[in-house]
Homo-oligomer: A and B are copies of this chain.
Amino acid sequence: MLLDVVLTTSALTSQAISGKTLVAIDILRASSTIVTALANGCRAVIPVLTPEEAFELKKRDPDVILGGERKGLRIPGFDKGNSPLEYMSSDIVGRRLVLTTTNGTRLIRKGQEADTLLVGSLLNAQAVAREVLKLKRDTLLACAGTLDRFSLDDFVGAGSIVREIVRFSPDVSLSDIALAAMKVSASGDPVLSLKESFHVRKLMELGFAQDLDYCSRLNLYGVVPRLTEKGIECLEKV
């Protein structure tokens, strides 16, 4: 089994995806939000590209929750923003979440041709690692990046998942870039690593320091979000 890493959504090609397991990683904050919502009882997350698509779905099913951001902030008319901390309340239990974000949901849409698409974050790194090993396919850890540029937070996230995989199965093959990601994630406290990132400094300016601390927590949840025909569901708790 080969583990490889792609650094931005735009660098992801259909050819690279085909037949593989893809782990979609947008640490700050779409992946962390999806994992948190599903861990806290949300039934499914429907990723959409635009606020218009989201409003359309709400028209058809008024019970859905609309969540997401543009420029980091909640979209006017939406129920919730993109802070994972908003998805720990009981109002999401058993309901579907329609989510649109600047980077993460675009990555998930683009990655949907993969054999299996999982959503990975620091919060569920070990659970995702176990699922990747169970699926026994070459795996692409796909970083969303920020506005199509390399983003340190996603690279650290990818590296943490690589590390968990290698811990369980030391003989997997790593591409050079997967090895680099693992080394970066192992080079210190993830919160500190994240705080140095450009993306993070921007979120801190917007007042999301709490999100950052939360998104840096390793292996808080055992959920593995997986894309199905009904959206992103948590098929089982590991």
Contact = CB atoms under 8 A, between A and B. Distances in A.
Contacts of A193: 183
Interface in A176-194: 176-177, 179-180, 183-184, 186-188, 193
Contact of A196 (B150, B179, B188, B196): B179
A155 interface: yes
Contact of A150 (B175, B187, B198): B175
B175 A198 contact: yes
Interface string A132-165: 0000000000000000011110010000000000
A45 to B, nearest CB: 27
A9 to B, nearest CB: 15
Contacts of A151: 176
A74 interface: no
A199 interface: yes
Contacts of A169: none
A58 to B, nearest CB: 35
A197 interface: yes
Interface in A55-82: none
A132 B177 CA distance: 26
Contact of A179 (B7, B149, B183, B197): B197
B176 A197 contact: yes
A141 to B, nearest CB: 13
A155 to B, nearest CB: 6
Contacts of A183: 183-184, 187-188, 193
A196 B199 CA distance: 30
Contacts of A150: 175-177, 180
Given A150-B175, A176-B199, A180-B180, 9 more contacts: A7-B7, A150-B176, A150-B177, A152-B179, A155-B176, A176-B197, A180-B184, A184-B184, A186-B187
8 contacts: A7-B7, A149-B176, A152-B176, A176-B199, A180-B180, A183-B187, A184-B184, A186-B187
Interface of A: 7, 149-152, 155, 175-177, 179-180, 183-184, 186-188, 193, 196-199
8 closest pairs, A vs B, by CB? A152-B176, A150-B177, A183-B187, A187-B187, A183-B184, A180-B184, A176-B197, A176-B198
